């Protein structure tokens, strides 16, 4: 089993958490392939990463719309053709939907499920087979604490992330012994553009840098399921213990 | 206050959300970074490096990048920010907007002197490139402009070459205020970074006793020299203390220990961070003041009245027994600050912090105002929550010219307080 991967592909790389993680990996000499939809923002990211790397690590960019599920197998094929030594992936793409709009129309709801679950699961189906055949690699996916239980405030997002978590559980079990590690990352409240409309005071809110450090550590230690930061594990454990007749009354 | 995470330097402003104000890392201890009833543009996510010329040390970066982030990247390559304040947890945009200064003001001037050009997003939709030649008026208003001229999106800076991330430092104790001036003059030529830490509780013969701390960038050390490593560890206060831990007893004890513990004259090597940012080791240190917080009092007195003025300020502070840990005193050199509203100007700057004890504290600060005004000095708007309109206008006589350059859709609680 190898240590930290030599070349990691980051999907949804322009997000705050992904960007911070990319910077940490570069500082450790890991080569990166950054994937995102918006070419202009992707260029800003690669400029930044290139200067920070100072020629010590490689950074390459791939523009792709990850909501276009049919194109994902070809996308991965083209990436491994270009970078045969890719042995790590971080899936960081997704969106935090407007729950009210998801409740109003099925199209919006389905779109969010597609972006937050189906896209990652499609991509993982291709990547998992590839890594399994090569008997190496680390697959890490950013889920959410919202996926641990359905809340009235964001259950569409929660359902997508929950589906993803169960998919990863099965995948992890299937790939056990194959040399491939599958990591489920579950961040809690993070101060990013995705959460700008929340009241973000309080001890539970953390900066994306802290989550990024947790992701790098999870890769180094090849963990299975990681709560970021750690304190969400006992919180979610307690949350799951609340009986449903009580839980349904809570305005969470 | 509505919050918008500003991640994209090319994004447009939507007029519906005015009045705007940029908020970087929120380290101004005052209301220059507050915008009650308006919108805060959070710039921390706009923190990318854009270009770097490793030959000249000129860097282009987005305004939300932290100085500490820049240092982390540039120091190993032999480049250093030309001016840093007492914390590295501020953004480049904030450093420009407050035209911050450091311990090396005598030789380097203020931060704004090292800014070559910027991009400024105005509420008109224009995204202007501003510099000493292009839109020079707006450039001069934006440096030290408290974020009121628009949103700074890009800053081009010139860094200085250093041969290591170490500093050679020296501490010299002085038993009373009169002694510090000579030491200061003597060290000035050889040591670019100097700061005097003053025990503002001490009275009488000991009035203004303290420790002068000097530093300069160290040459490369010969192989085998034991060098201090920077571990980057810091502790933090996770919540507000239930009441202020800063009182006359704790301050007296702390200051006495600091004074006695100062090493005898002698040189040692310190990491840049350890030397220039001692307070960064205790994150959220302001919480020791409890929920009521504290008032910073950062003033500058012109040279002609500096010695008498500082003495009077310290006397009044010591008599009040409200003084806080170590006051900081620095000399501002003659290099002019480029901003219309820049705080640094030739003279001596004294930074005091006071636990908020309500009216008693405000009365003391009003007395200090009288001393500063009589000496022809000014207060730092970036560290103020209470100065009077008169005090501001006296300290910044060009405020009317500045006001014409303010973006009409930008404002802050401070600016509204100064323009009732």
Identify the three-state secondary structure at position B213.
Answer: strand
Placement of tokens 């600060």 in the chain: B365
Report which of A33, A37, A39, A47 is spatially closest to residue A83, judged by C-alpha positions. Answer: A33
In 10 A of CB A100, how many CB atoms?
Answer: 8
Strand B79-80 and strand B160-161: the pairing is antiparallel
Quick one: DSSP state of residue B219?
P
* pLDDT tens string A145-173: 999 999 999 999 999 999 999 999 999 99
Q: Are residues B245 and B311 in the same domain?
A: yes
Give the B-side interface with A, CB within 8 Å.
3-5, 7-10, 42, 45, 48-52, 54, 73, 77, 238-239
Q: Are residues B244 and B381 in the same domain?
A: yes
Q: Are residues B213 and B84 in the same domain?
A: no
Decide: B47 and B62 in contact? Cβ < 8 Å.
yes
Q: Dihedrals φ, ψ of B315, to 5°?
A: -60, -50
Report which of A3, A5, A192 is spatially closest to residue A94, judged by C-alpha positions. Answer: A192
A48 in B contact zone (CB under 8 Å): yes
A202 in B contact zone (CB under 8 Å): no
- In this prediction the ipTM stands at 0.90
Q: List the structure tokens of B161.
A: 């070459």
Tell me which chain A residues have a C-beta less than 8 angstroms from the C-beta of B239: 203
CB contact under 8 A, B48 and A44: yes
A252 in B contact zone (CB under 8 Å): no
A40 in B contact zone (CB under 8 Å): yes
Catalytic option among A25, A76, A131, A157: A157
CA distance B93 to chain A (A): 17
Q: Are residues B34 and B117 in the same domain?
A: yes
- Is pLDDT at A252 greater than 80 in this prediction? no
Report which of A86, A108, A102, A121 is spatially closest to residue A2, judged by C-alpha positions. Answer: A86
Identify the three-state secondary structure at position A175.
Answer: helix
In 10 A of CB A108, how many CB atoms?
Answer: 17
Those residues of chain B that have pLDDT short of 70 are 232-234, 262-266
Q: In a 10 Å sphere around its CB, with 0-12 CB exposed, 13-18 middle and 19+ buried, how is residue B265 labelled?
A: exposed
CA distance B218 to chain A (A): 24
Strand A137-142 and strand A180-187: the pairing is parallel
Biggest alpha carbon–alpha carbon distance for chain A: 58
* pLDDT tens string B103-157: 999 999 999 999 999 999 999 999 999 999 999 999 999 999 999 999 999 999 9
Decide: B192 and B106 in contact? Cβ < 8 Å.
yes
Tell me which chain A residues have a C-beta less than 8 angstroms from the C-beta of B42: 196
Domain residue limits, chain A: 7-247
pLDDT at B263: 63
pLDDT at A3: 64
Task: Tell me how many residue pairs between chain A and chain B have CB atoms under 8 A apart.
Answer: 37
* pLDDT tens string B223-237: 777 777 777 666 777
Average pLDDT, stretch A136-142?
Answer: 97
* pLDDT tens string B162-204: 999 999 999 888 999 999 988 888 887 789 999 999 988 888 8
pLDDT at B336: 96
A246 in B contact zone (CB under 8 Å): no
pLDDT at B251: 77
The C-alpha angle A231, A236, A239, rounded to 5 degrees, equals: 135
Buried b (16+ CB within 10 A) or exposed e, B52-89: beeeebbbbbbbbbbbbbbbbbbbeebbbbbbbbbbbb
Q: Are residues B132 and B257 in the same domain?
A: no
CB contact under 8 A, B50 and A52: no
Report which of B112, A69, B370 is spatially closest to residue B379, judged by C-alpha positions. Answer: B370
A44 in B contact zone (CB under 8 Å): yes
Q: Are residues B173 and B304 in the same domain?
A: yes
Domain harbouring B273, CATH code: 3.30.70.2520
CA distance A30 to chain B (A): 16
* Domain encompassing residue B40: 2-162+397-418
CB contact under 8 A, A41 and B50: no
Q: Are residues B362 and B384 in the same domain?
A: yes
CA distance B77 to chain A (A): 9
Q: Are residues B312 and B261 in the same domain?
A: yes
Placement of tokens 């929120």 in the chain: B26
Q: In a 10 Å sphere around its CB, with 0-12 CB exposed, 13-18 middle and 19+ buried, how is residue A244 labelled?
A: exposed
- Catalytic residue flag (residue A155): no
End-to-end CA gap in chain B: 20
Q: Are residues B53 and B176 in the same domain?
A: no
* pLDDT tens string A6-47: 999 999 999 999 999 999 999 999 999 999 999 999 999 999
Q: Are residues B62 and B27 in the same domain?
A: yes
CB contact under 8 A, A45 and B77: no
Q: For domain A7-247, is the CATH number 3.40.50.720?
A: yes
Q: Are residues B107 and B150 in the same domain?
A: yes
pLDDT at A2: 47
Work out how many domains chain B is built from and give that number: 2
* Residues paired with residue A90 on neighbouring β-strands, in sequence order: A10, A140
Domain harbouring B100, CATH code: 3.30.465.10
A29 in B contact zone (CB under 8 Å): no
Identify the three-state secondary structure at position B69.
Answer: helix
Q: Are residues B145 and B249 in the same domain?
A: no
């Amino acid at each position: 089993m190898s240590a930290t991967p030599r070349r990691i592909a980051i999907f949804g790389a322009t997000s705050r958490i992904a960007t911070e993680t990319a910077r940490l990996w570069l500082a450790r000499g890991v080569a990166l392939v950054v994937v995102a939809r918006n070419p202009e923002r992707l260029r800003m990211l690669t400029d930044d990463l290139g200067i920070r790397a100072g020629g010590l690590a490689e950074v390459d960019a791939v523009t792709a719309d990850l909501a276009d599920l049919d194109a994902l197998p070809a996308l991965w094929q083209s990436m491994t053709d270009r970078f045969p030594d890719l042995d790590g992936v971080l899936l960081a793409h997704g969106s935090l939907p407007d729950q009210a709009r998801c409740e109003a129309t099925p199209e919006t709801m389905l779109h969010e499920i597609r972006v937050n679950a189906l896209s990652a699961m499609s991509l993982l189906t291709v990547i998992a087979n590839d890594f399994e055949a090569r008997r190496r690699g680390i697959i890490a996916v950013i889920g959410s604490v919202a996926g641990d239980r359905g809340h009235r405030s964001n259950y569409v997002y929660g359902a997508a992330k929950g589906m993803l978590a169960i998919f990863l559980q099965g995948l992890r079990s299937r790939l056990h012994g194959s040399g491939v590690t599958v990591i489920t990352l579950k961040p809690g409240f993070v101060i990013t553009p995705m959460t700008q409309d929340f009241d973000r005071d309080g001890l539970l809110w953390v900066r994306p840098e802290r989550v990024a450090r947790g992701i790098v550590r999870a890769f180094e230690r090849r963990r299975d399921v990681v709560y970021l930061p750690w304190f969400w594990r006992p919180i979610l454990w307690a949350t799951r213990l609340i009986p449903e007749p009580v839980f349904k009354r809570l305005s969470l | 206050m509505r919050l918008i995470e500003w991640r994209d330097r090319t994004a447009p402003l939507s007029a519906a959300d005015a009045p705007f104000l940029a908020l970087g890392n929120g380290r101004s201890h005052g209301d220059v970074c507050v915008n009650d009833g308006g919108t805060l543009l959070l710039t921390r996510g706009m923190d990318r490096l854009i270009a770097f010329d490793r030959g000249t040390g000129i860097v282009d970066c987005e305004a939300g990048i932290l100085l500490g982030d820049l240092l982390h990247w540039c120091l190993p390559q032999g480049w250093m920010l030309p001016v840093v304040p007492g914390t590295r947890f501020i953004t480049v945009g904030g450093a420009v907007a407050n035209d911050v200064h450091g311990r090396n003001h005598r030789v380097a001037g203020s931060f704004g002197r090292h800014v070559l050009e910027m991009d400024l997003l105005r509420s008109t939709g224009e995204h202007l490139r501003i510099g000493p030649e292009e839109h020079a008026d707006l450039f001069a208003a934006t440096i030290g402009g408290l974020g009121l001229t628009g949103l700074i999106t890009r800053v081009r800076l010139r860094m200085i070459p250093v041969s290591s991330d170490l500093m050679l430092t020296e501490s010299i104790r002085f038993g009373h205020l009169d002694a510090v001036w000579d030491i200061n003059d003597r060290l000035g030529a050889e040591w670019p970074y100097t700061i005097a830490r003053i025990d503002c509780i001490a009275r009488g013969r000991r009035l203004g006793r303290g420790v002068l701390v000097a530093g300069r960038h160290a040459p490369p050390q010969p192989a085998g020299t034991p060098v201090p490593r920077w571990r980057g560890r810091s502790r933090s206060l996770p919540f507000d203390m239930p009441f202020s831990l800063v009182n006359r007893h704790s301050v007296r004890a702390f200051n006495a220990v600091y004074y006695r513990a100062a090493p005898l004259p002698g040189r040692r090597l310190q990491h840049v961070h350890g030397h220039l940012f001692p307070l960064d080791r205790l994150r959220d240190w302001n919480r020791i003041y409890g929920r009521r917080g504290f008032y910073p009092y950062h003033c500058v007195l012109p040279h002609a009245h500096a010695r008498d003025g500082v003495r009077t300020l310290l006397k009044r502070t010591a008599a009040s027994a409200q003084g806080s840990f170590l006051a900081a005193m620095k000399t501002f050199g003659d290099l002019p600050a480029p901003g219309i509203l820049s705080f640094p100007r030739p003279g001596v700057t004294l930074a005091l912090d006071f636990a908020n004890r309500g009216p008693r504290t405000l009365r003391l600060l009003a007395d200090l105002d009288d001393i500063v005004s009589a000496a022809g000095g000014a207060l730092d708007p970036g560290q103020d929550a209470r100065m009077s309109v008169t005090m501001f206008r006296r300290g910044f006589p060009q405020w009317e010219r500045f006001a014409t350059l303010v973006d009409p859709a930008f404002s802050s609680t401070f600016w509204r307080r100064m323009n009732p």
